[in-house]
């Protein structure tokens, strides 16, 4: 039952926002009593925290599965972007903003864990790209990986990047292209251009 609650809560928080969803809403959606939810989660903050960690673990596992398919590093980043957007893309309620505003401690925990996951993934991606000659050899891996994380989190700030000016999908595409053009070799740029052209068709 606990996993069922976490799955539904994660889905509702993403679609409607962390602030908007009440325990009553969740109980009604699941067809259970609120008391049953409180058996597993002492309060809404605990539910928000565990739902966020549950979602992060799900995303991390999905990323691991993509990495295991052994694509070239440029394709790998595009596949990861596609997967993450499929599961986290919600233009209306800005779940990250609500999490940060109403549950700052939970947000800080999630951001720290997200950084650890992304850092490992991006460093590995860069090393692999250098090894096969599609990323430049002279880049500072630690710097690039941190700048990438900083960029990924910054473009979710809707004050900096309002949706009316920067639709989410286009913004994600533009940021990834910006990142890759800075680190690719001529061979890497050929792969990148082919991918961009095929995505536009």
Structure confidence at residue 90 (pLDDT): 52
Q: Domain limits of the chain?
A: 45-200
Q: Are 117 and 64 in contact (CB under 8 A)?
A: no
pLDDT in tens, the chain (201 residues): 999 999 999 999 988 889 889 999 999 999 999 999 999 999 999 999 999 999 999 999 999 999 999 899 999 999 999 998 887 755 455 677 788 889 999 999 998 999 999 999 999 999 999 999 999 999 999 999 999 999 998 998 888 998 899 988 899 999 999 999 999 999 999 999 999 998 765
Report d(CA 101, CA 89) in Å as an integer.
Answer: 19
Report d(CA 177, CA 120) in Å as an integer.
Answer: 20
3-state SS assignment for residue 65: helix
Structure confidence at residue 60 (pLDDT): 94
- CA 3 to chain CA centroid, Å, is 21
Structure confidence at residue 33 (pLDDT): 94
Burial status of residue 111 (CB atoms within 10 A of its CB: 0-12, 13-18, 19 or more): middle
Report d(CA 69, CA 18) in Å as an integer.
Answer: 34
Backbone angles phi and psi of 18, in degrees to 5? -65, -35
How would DSSP label each residue in 130-156? Answer: HHTTSB-TT--HHHHHHHHHHHHHHTT
Angle CA 189–190–192, to nearest 5: 60
| Of the candidates 53, 54, 19, 25, the residue with the CA atom closest to the CA atom of residue 37 | 25
Half-sphere exposure of 130 (CA within 13 A, CB side): 14
Structure confidence at residue 168 (pLDDT): 85
Structure confidence at residue 148 (pLDDT): 96
Structure confidence at residue 84 (pLDDT): 87
Tokens of 183: 């680190």
Structure confidence at residue 17 (pLDDT): 85
Structure confidence at residue 201 (pLDDT): 55
CATH topology of domain 45-200: Tetracycline Repressor; domain 2 (1.10.357)
E strand or H helix at 51: helix 44-68
Structure confidence at residue 158 (pLDDT): 80
Whole-model pTM?
A: 0.88
Burial status of residue 186 (CB atoms within 10 A of its CB: 0-12, 13-18, 19 or more): exposed
Structure confidence at residue 187 (pLDDT): 97
3-state SS assignment for residue 72: coil
């Amino acid at each position: 039952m606990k996993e069922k609650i976490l799955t539904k809560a994660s889905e509702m928080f993403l679609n409607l926002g962390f602030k908007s969803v009440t325990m009553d809403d969740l109980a009604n959606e699941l067809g259970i009593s609120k008391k049953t939810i409180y058996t597993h989660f002492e309060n809404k903050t605990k539910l928000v925290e565990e739902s966020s960690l549950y979602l992060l673990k799900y995303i991390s596992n999905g990323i691991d599965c993509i990495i295991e398919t052994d694509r070239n590093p440029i394709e790998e980043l595009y596949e990861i972007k596609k997967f993450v957007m499929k599961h986290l893309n919600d233009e209306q309620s800005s779940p990250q903003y609500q999490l940060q505003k109403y549950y700052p401690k939970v947000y800080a925990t999630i951001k720290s864990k997200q950084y650890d996951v992304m850092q490992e993934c991006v460093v590995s991606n860069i090393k692999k790209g250098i090894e096969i000659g599609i990323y430049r050899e002279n880049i500072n891996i630690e710097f690039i990986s941190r700048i990438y994380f900083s960029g990924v989190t910054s473009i979710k700030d809707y004050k900096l990047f309002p949706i009316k000016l920067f639709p989410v999908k286009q913004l994600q595409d533009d940021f990834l292209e910006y990142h890759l053009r800075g680190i690719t070799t001529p061979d890497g740029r050929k792969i990148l251009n082919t991918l961009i052209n095929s995505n536009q068709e």
